[in-house]
Amino acid sequence: MITTDIIIIGAGPTGLFAVFEAGLLKLKCHLIDALPQPGGQCSEIYPKKPIYDIPAYPEILAGDLTDKLMEQCKQFEPGFTLGERAETIDKQEDGSFIVTTNKGTQHKAPVVAIASGLGSFEPRKPLLDNIADYEDKGVEYMIKEPELYRGKDVVIAGGGDSALDWSIFLADVAKSVTLVHRRNEFRGHLDSVDKVQELKNAGKINLITPAEITAILGGGKVESVEITKKDEAPFNLKADHFIPLFGLSPKLGPIANWGLEIEKNAIKVNNALDYQTNIPGIFAIGDGNIYPGKLKLILCGFHEATLMCQAAYKIINPGKRYVLKYTTVSGVDGFDGTRKEAPKAVVKTID
Amino acid sequence: MENNDVNITIIDRDGVTHQIEAPTDMAMNLMEVVRSYELAPEGTIGVCGGMAMCASCQCYVKSNHELPEMQDDEEAMLSEAFYVKDNSRLGCQIHITPELEGLEVELAPES
């Protein structure tokens, strides 16, 4: 059981900044995110795109914003449970919450802050009638364990970076790699495209374009897939694994069943006070909440995170006195023993 | 004041037809117009914010309007999207201009 002061669901910009603000109040945070890396949308969807409305940054790449936020909160030593989706929440008799992920990891804290944006990113599944029957029986939407494919015939579908990168990687592992895409053009880093071209020329990747997977065949597990090239008759290809990589789309997911008030796919909060939900002790901050006048902006998430931490402090330290401090005046004392502070003024006599 | 609106017909995902007016002077695109009229639930359209990176604003163009040519990123995204037809476009890549008067589109299913 992981115990902390605030469980933050979602490691996007809002969740990461909450770690910093909580740290100033001596509160520890642990973040849970379905993605394998922190940063949320900024890292997953548009790391190389610029943002122009972060205060004091005329321009910053989304990926760089993530790096800066990680650096800013580093001394408060946040814990991370990555690649796992928060599944259930259970209120304990002492008022605390236990959040359990889809992999069974348990987290306990008196306060939960949901900073889940548009939701957890789930793979987009191709529209094949029987695909659900083959899930984890040869159909995988994400590659978690590359060794699974050693010596196997693998078919990958998709035209983006993940399809290219995994084709390259598995070319050395699998018995055969076939990459199927609807077009001849791929959208990915130039060096990945060049590498696939090279591997194709060397006969290490079997490239079939423009084409689509039109059926999955096999008794109880994937044995072959039907591939249809544009304007040609379909044919079957032997396959042990079919890996469709068509990107991710955010879904509110299990949080929808936590008893929280939901409106327009977002969690209703009290914006007059502290962004608390209808369940005391559970807050929602950032793009995933809703209140009158809500704007889905990173900078609004930062503000919401800051107020949430003040309310969390009161829950965790009932009755304890506190006044707002300025970092310039008090400095920043990290949990790792580091201290940042303004240099002392120089006092010197002029003769 | 001069009227800068164009009339657009949008068929939502439930098959309901909406006649709406869209401003040409607010730098809006079709995806944003759909959101401003709440013709699709929040969180199911314009997920990436309008970067041609998610296809949640895919629509089918039903009228014969001359639309701006597809850029590479829109074409690439549509080649990975589902329910794609010959008349598919991404709403976020269609800017509202006076030439769109009378445009008719249907929202593609959520995926």
**Looking at beta carbons, which residues of chain B come within 8 Å of A126?**
82
ipTM of the complex: 0.81
Half-sphere exposure of A210 (CA within 13 A, CB side): 10
- Ligand-binding annotation for A172, yes or no, is no
- Ligand-binding annotation for A178, yes or no, is no
CB-based contact A126 B76, cutoff 8 Å: no
CB distance A258 to A9 below 8 Å: no
State the average pLDDT for chain A: 94
Please, which residues 167-226 of chain A have a Cβ atom closer than 8 Å to chain B? 181-183, 185, 187
Q: Residue A183 is nearest to which of B42, B54, B79, comparing CB atoms?
A: B79
CB-based contact A126 B42, cutoff 8 Å: no
**Looking at beta carbons, which residues of chain B come within 8 Å of A160?**
76, 80
**Looking at beta carbons, which residues of chain B come within 8 Å of A185?**
72, 75-76, 79
Q: Would you state the structure tokens that stand for residue A345, as one six-digit string?
A: 């003024």
**Looking at beta carbons, which residues of chain B come within 8 Å of A159?**
76, 79-80
Please report which confidence band the pLDDT of residue A230 belongs to, taking 50, 70 and 90 as the band edges. Answer: confident
- Ligand-binding annotation for A115, yes or no, is no
Residue-wise pLDDT for B101-111, tens only, equals 999 999 999 98
CB-based contact B43 A181, cutoff 8 Å: no
Which domains, from first to last, does chain A contain?
Answer: 2-121+249-340 (3.50.50.60), 125-246 (3.50.50.60)
How confident is the model at residue B73, as a pLDDT? 87
- Ligand-binding annotation for A14, yes or no, is yes
CB-based contact B53 A46, cutoff 8 Å: yes
Residue-wise pLDDT for B71-94, tens only, equals 988 998 998 899 999 999 999 999
**Looking at beta carbons, which residues of chain B come within 8 Å of A45?**
48, 51, 53-54
Half-sphere exposure of A293 (CA within 13 A, CB side): 4
CA-nearest of B10, B8, B32 to B106 is B10
CB-based contact A252 B43, cutoff 8 Å: yes
CB distance A143 to A243 below 8 Å: yes
**Looking at beta carbons, which residues of chain B come within 8 Å of A141?**
none
Mean pLDDT in residue range A266-281: 95
- For B100: left if phi > 0, alpha if psi spans -120 to 50, otherwise beta; the answer is alpha
Indicate if the pLDDT at residue B21 is higher than 60.
yes
Shortest Cα–Cα distance, A237 to chain B (Å): 21
> How far is it, in rounded angstroms, from Cα A351 to Cα A346?
16
Indicate if the pLDDT at residue A345 is higher than 90.
no
How do beta strands A29-33 and A50-51 pair? unpaired
Chain centroid, CA A204 distance in Å = 32
**Looking at beta carbons, which residues of chain B come within 8 Å of A124?**
82, 111
> How far is it, in rounded angstroms, from Cα B74 to Cα B77?
5
Test mutation, A48, A122, A182, A192, chain B, max B CBs within 10 A: A182
Please report which confidence band the pLDDT of residue B1 belongs to, taking 50, 70 and 90 as the band edges. Answer: low
Residue-wise pLDDT for A128-181, tens only, equals 989 999 998 999 998 888 999 999 999 999 998 889 999 999 999 999 999 999
**Looking at beta carbons, which residues of chain B come within 8 Å of A181?**
79
> How far is it, in rounded angstroms, from Cα A345 to Cα A338?
21
CB-based contact B41 A264, cutoff 8 Å: yes
How confident is the model at residue B2, as a pLDDT? 65
Chain centroid, CA A281 distance in Å = 23
In the DSSP assignment, the letter for residue B86 is: T
Residue-wise pLDDT for B30-75, tens only, equals 999 999 999 999 889 998 889 898 899 999 999 999 999 999 889 9
Helix/strand/coil (H/E/C) assignment for every residue in chain A? CEECCEEEECCCHHHHHHHHHHHHCCCCEEEEECCCCCCCHHHHCCCCCEECCECCECCEEHHHHHHHHHHHHHHHCCEEEECCCEEEEEECCCCCEEEEECCCCEEEECEEEECCCCCEEEECCCCCCCHHHHECCCECCCCCCHHHHCCCEEEEECCCHHHHHHHHHHHCCCCEEEEECCCCCCCCCHHHHHHHHHHHHCCCCEEECCEEEEEEECCCCCCEEEEEECCCCCEEEECCEEEECCCEEEECHHHHHCCCCEECCEEECECCCCCECCCCCEEECHHHEECCCCCCCHHHHHHHHHHHHHHHHHHHCCCCCCCCCCHHHHCEECCCCCEECCCCCCCCCCC
How confident is the model at residue A44, as a pLDDT? 86
Shortest Cα–Cα distance, B48 to chain A (Å): 7
CB-based contact B41 A265, cutoff 8 Å: yes
How confident is the model at residue A167, as a pLDDT? 96
Please report which confidence band the pLDDT of residue B5 belongs to, taking 50, 70 and 90 as the band edges. Answer: very high
CB distance A294 to A316 below 8 Å: no
> How far is it, in rounded angstroms, from Cα A298 to Cα A210?
39
> How far is it, in rounded angstroms, from Cα A318 to Cα A312?
10
CB-based contact A265 B51, cutoff 8 Å: no
Mean pLDDT in residue range A49-56: 96
| Cα–Cα distances in angstroms (integers) from residue A251 to residues A215, A265, B72, in the given order | 26, 9, 27
CB-based contact B51 A249, cutoff 8 Å: no
Q: Domain segments of chain B: what residues? A: 5-107
CB-based contact B43 A182, cutoff 8 Å: no
Q: Which CATH number fits domain B5-107: 3.10.20.30, 3.20.20.70, 1.10.10.10, 2.30.30.40?
A: 3.10.20.30
In the DSSP assignment, the letter for residue B44 is: S
Asked if the C-beta of A53 comes within 8 angstroms of chain B's C-beta atoms, the answer is no
> How far is it, in rounded angstroms, from Cα A171 to Cα A150?
10
- Ligand-binding annotation for A33, yes or no, is yes
Bond prior to A55 in cis (omega within 30° of 0): no
Percentage of chain A beyond pLDDT 90 is 83
CB-based contact B43 A119, cutoff 8 Å: yes
In the DSSP assignment, the letter for residue B95 is: B
Chain centroid, CA A9 distance in Å = 10
Q: Residue B48 is nearest to which of A45, A126, A183, comparing CB atoms?
A: A45
